[in-house]
Structure 1
Amino acid sequence: MKMKMAFATCVQLGQSCVEEIYRIGGNLDLLITLKDEKAKNKSGRIYLDDIATENATPLLKINNINDQEVIDTLKAHKINWLFIIGWSQIAKKELLETPTHGCIGMHPTLLPIGRGRAAIPWSIIKGLDKTGVTMFKLDEGVDTGEIIGQGVIPLNEKSTATELYQTVDELHITLISKYWDAIVNNNITLTKQNDADATEWPGRKPEDGEVLGRMTMNEADSLVRAVSHPYPGAFYKNGDKTIRIWSAEINKNDGEIKLSDGYLIPVDYEVEGF
């Protein structure tokens, strides 16, 4: 019996996966996205109208992934697997159990490390030497489901959010391509996460990008790299001015950090802070 697949997304990471599914000859029986007027300012917000039309795939636009309309539509299309990728709303029990085989998500860390929010900025801020993307079966927890597969991304002291976001996008595509056949043939191996190794990262807001005087040069540099495009960017308050910082370079010999726009921020040698 042919497996029937659905995909829910509203951001570029998810659209890239949808495009890859069609590129490798896969088929989706239903696409789900947010209504046009919702999350207009969300980073990476996309619209699936064109890709749905090009592939003659039904497109459902919704307010919330747990709406009864979603559950009814999944049942009507007899969906076996639902991908939920690039979606901030948490799927509840009824939705998770509606597709006959379950729901699949991806998270841009090597789970169980980095469950939660803001995975790309935190990976850089925390100075990790590697991160990655995990494909997993969703359960009622936050990023706690059984793992289908992972890919590793090396990090270093120059990694930026811009570069990491692009690599994460590419790894989403790689994992979709790698595991698609196993999923549609119901031949995946699920591996439980080791909760003893789990860490949870909180959400971040634009105001968390402020470069503060108590930070060391390395802390400030990490913050600038972590919240650059496509995120809101770091900033430094100089009197009544707010200076937006997209990139910076540490010059430890002169005790300064040089910003991309030419500003120089002096550094106190003793405390190595601003």
Structure 2
Amino acid sequence: MKAVWLSANKLGLALLKEAIKTASFELTAIITLREGAKTVTYDGVPTKQWRAFGVQVFEIEELNREVYLIKKLAPELIIMCGWRQILNDEILRLPEKGVIGFHPTLLPFGRGPAPIINSILKGVRESGLTMFYVDAGLDDGDIIAREEFEIGEDDHAGDVYNKVIKAGKKIVNRYLPLIIAGKAPRTAQDATKAVIFEKPKLENNRIELEKESIDEIYTKIKALSRPYKGAYIERNGKKLIFWKAELREGE
């Protein structure tokens, strides 16, 4: 089966490595974002790491403008992992076996942007990664598999990110061969249980010492830590960014 891998981040890189070890398919190309693309990627991967796979690598700005490229590559399957652009119907209809995506929440909960940030900010404890068939909606396609994990009370964004990668490897190992064989499960999402996350505003990264409680500040630091931009305070016109924090009992 001819497949195109669509990714612009470290999660996609890790799962591509796992996919190559796990399943029998022909990787014909990797499509990633070009440097300077308008779509923000916090955990981007240098192009040379994609080129190390020995296949064609295309650096683009917006996939929906690349219909000709997808038609030329003629993939039977597109695997999208770590891609923040919504695909239009024309792109989605091109691969015979569809487009497979990954989202780091237990869909239908947590559709939409910044799933790791929002999960920590909202105090989510039981989370996970969902593999699903991508359609034109917002993370609302049929579910193939979900792998659960716990977000610990002291987990920072990077800790959760690593759990997402671990969960993704398990899903790829078990379900990608089934997708290629045409035997993967397919379960419609229950729209009545859908929760859509809001896009965080960059100005909310600022810590408001006079307004926010200790718990709120702690949660904000955890949620916005690496690979994201970090929570900060301003002093004398300069930003002081906090990458790590812990709560201690007062004496």
TM-score by length of 2: 0.90
Distance 2:126 2:88 in 1: 31
User: Quick check: 1:177 aligned with 2:173?
Assistant: yes
The one-character-per-residue Cα deviations of 1:163-201 (angstroms, maximum 9, x if unpaired) are: 111111222222112211101111111111111111111
> What residue is the counterpart of 1:7 in the other structure?
5
- Output the CA distance in 1 between the equivalents of 2:233 and 2:34: 36
Question: What does 1:112-123 correspond to in 2, within 5 Å?
Answer: 112-123=108-119
SS of the residue 1:207 aligns to: helix
1:241-264 alpha-carbon deviations (Å, 9 max, x no partner):
54322222334536xxxxxxxxxx
1:142 matched to 2:138: yes
Distance in 1 (alpha carbons) for counterparts of 2:166 and 2:176: 15
For 1:6, the aligned partner's letter is V
User: Which one of the candidate residues 68, 75, 99 is aligned to 1:72?
Assistant: 68
Structure 2 residue 159 is matched with structure 1 residue 160: no
- 1:22 is aligned, of 20, 23, 28, to 20
State how many pairs are aligned: 249
Query: 1:32 Cα deviation (Å)?
Result: 1.2
Give the structure, 1 or 2, with the largest relative contact order (CA under 8 Å, sep 6 or more).
Answer: 2
How far residue 22 of structure 1 moved from its aligned partner, in angstroms, is 1.8
Q: Distance in 1 between matches of 2:246 and 2:50?
A: 41
Whole-angstrom distance in 2 between the partners of 1:74 and 1:220: 45
**For residue 204 of structure 1, what is the aligned residue in structure 2?**
200
The answer to whether the 8 A contact 1:39-1:45 is kept is: no
Deviation of 1:121 (Å): 1.1
Give the alignment of 1:72-91 within 5 angstroms.
72-91=68-87
- Structure 2 match to 1:188: 184
Identical positions, percent? 28
Paired with 2:219 and 2:3, the residues of 1 have a C-alpha distance of 40
**2:228 — aligned with what?**
231
Distance in 1 between residues matched to 2:107 and 2:12, nearest whole Å: 19
Say which SS state the counterpart of residue 63 (structure 2) adopts.
coil
Q: Give the match for residue 257 of structure 1.
A: none
Q: Secondary structure of 2:171's partner?
A: helix
Q: How big is the alpha-carbon RMSD for the aligned residues of Structure 1 and Structure 2? A: 2.1
Change in CA separation of 1:178 and 1:39 when aligned onto 2, cut-off 3 Å: farther
Is 38-47 or 28-37 further displaced after alignment?
Answer: 38-47
- What letter matches 2:173 in structure 1? S
**Superimposed CA distance per residue, residues 29-86 of structure 1 (whole angstroms, 9 cap, x where no aligned partner):** 222112345369731111444544543x22222221112xx33333333311101211
Segments of 5+ residues of structure 2 without an aligned counterpart are none
How far off is 1:135 after superposition? 0.5
Tell me, in whole angstroms, the C-alpha distance in 2 between the residues paired with 1:21 and 1:120: 23
Whole-angstrom distance in 2 between the partners of 1:245 and 1:91: 35
Cα distance, 1:122 vs. partner? Answer: 1.1
1:219 corresponds in structure 2 to 216
- In 1, distance between residues paired with 2:49 and 2:225? 30
> Aligned pair in 2 of structure 1 residues 52, 185: CA closer, same or farther (>3 Å)?
farther
Q: 2:64·2:87 contact (CA, 8 Å) conserved in 1?
A: yes
SS of aligned partner of 1:60: strand
SS in 1 for 2:211: coil
SS of alignment partner, residue 14 of structure 1: helix
- Cα 1:138–1:225, aligned 2, differ >3 Å: closer, same or farther? same
Q: 1:61 — aligned with what?
A: 59
* TM-score, reference length from structure 1: 0.83
